[in-house]
Amino acid sequence: MVAWGCSLTMWTTRHGRLLGPEATVAQVDLEAAALGATGRTDLGVLGDVGLTAAAVLAELDRRGHRAGRSHPGPGVRWRDVAHRDEGDAAHIDPRTLSVALDDLLPGDRVVAVDSGNFMGWPSAYLAVPDERAFCFTQSFQSIGLGLATAIGAALAAPGRLPVAVLGDGGALLSIAELETAVRLGLPLVVVVYDDAAYGAEVHHFPGEPLDTVTFPDTDLAAIARGFGCTAATVRSPADLRALPAWLDGPRTGPLLLDAKVVPMASWWLQEAFRGH
């Protein structure tokens, strides 16, 4: 296994459990201090990632090794993995929502994801055309940055459809930025995974009081309309018809979808909080 210019941390290796004892772990990095700094490294290579990769390929070619063709099989993407839909009359399953969004949104998109319990679903389910089309604000360890990031992406890449994916906690912290998006006439899609809570605290800190991290149901669609957005409340896949209707229109301002999702713990945060 080779880590090219990145660190193998507890976040990326599930606290080391993804690295088998028989595997040899090589890390390539320009910074000597980075080699082995955050996890197991059996072989550290100090050097430029691109040049090192080219040298490795040349050496493999010299030794007669040839890369075989690989074809992704069914289930290669999370959206293709079957799930039991847990939606009800008032809530949409966040996995069902994510699959539907991936189908309905144009492929040439730039996705900005806020932080929170919800963040893994859009991150894993929504395809993007390249690395410049995915903005993951969890790097700052703070909620409330997704909407402003999407506005920046909309201005930086005007040829792509900007999509802000937020939790309701982060949306409420940053909702004043809707005025900016409306004033600039940005063709921005804002999707709120709304479980009426700070979901990370609710699901991943059992036994603690929840009165400060659970909220009354908030009509975020009505608030968005007050700012001048087009908006809809989503409780089932059928409610997503508002999205293609907006896409087919002039797109002269933002669309906000307040998706009332099933409150559901996320395995990625369970993994992240392991041992903390």
Residues 114 and 57 placed together within one structural domain of the fold: no
Residues 142 and 22 placed together within one structural domain of the fold: no
Closest C-alpha to 127, from 94, 87, 98, 93: 98
The structural domain count of the chain equals: 2
Residues 96 and 144 placed together within one structural domain of the fold: yes
Q: Quick check: helix, strand or coil at residue 69? A: coil
Model pLDDT for residues 18-52, shown as the tens digit of each residue: 888 899 999 899 999 988 888 888 999 999 999 99
Closest C-alpha to 230, from 172, 182, 158: 182
Residues 25 and 110 placed together within one structural domain of the fold: no
What pLDDT shows up at residue 265?
87
pLDDT at 75 over 70: no
DSSP track, 88-155 = -SS-B-HHHHHHHHHHHS-SSEEEEE--STTTHHHHHHS--SSGGGEEEGGGG--SS-HHHHHHHHHH
Q: Quick check: helix, strand or coil at residue 231? A: strand
Tell whether 78 is covered by a domain. Answer: no
Residues 50 and 169 placed together within one structural domain of the fold: no
Catalogue the long-range contacts made by 80-83 (C-beta closer than 8 Å, 24 or more residues apart). none
pTM strictly above 0.85: no
Q: Where residue 206 sits, what CATH number does that domain have? A: 3.40.50.970
Residues 21 and 128 placed together within one structural domain of the fold: no
Tell whether 180 is covered by a domain. Answer: yes
The angle at the Cα of 101, spanning 169 to 249, to the nearest 5 degrees, equals: 100
Print the domain residue range for 21: 2-62
Residues 25 and 144 placed together within one structural domain of the fold: no
What pLDDT shows up at residue 60?
92
Question: Cβ–Cβ contacts within 10 Å for residue 110, how many?
Answer: 24
What pLDDT shows up at residue 12?
78
Question: Cβ–Cβ contacts within 10 Å for residue 26, how many?
Answer: 17
Residues 225 and 129 placed together within one structural domain of the fold: yes
Surface-to-core class of residue 1, CB atoms within 10 Å of its CB (0-12 exposed, 13-18 middle, 19+ buried)? middle
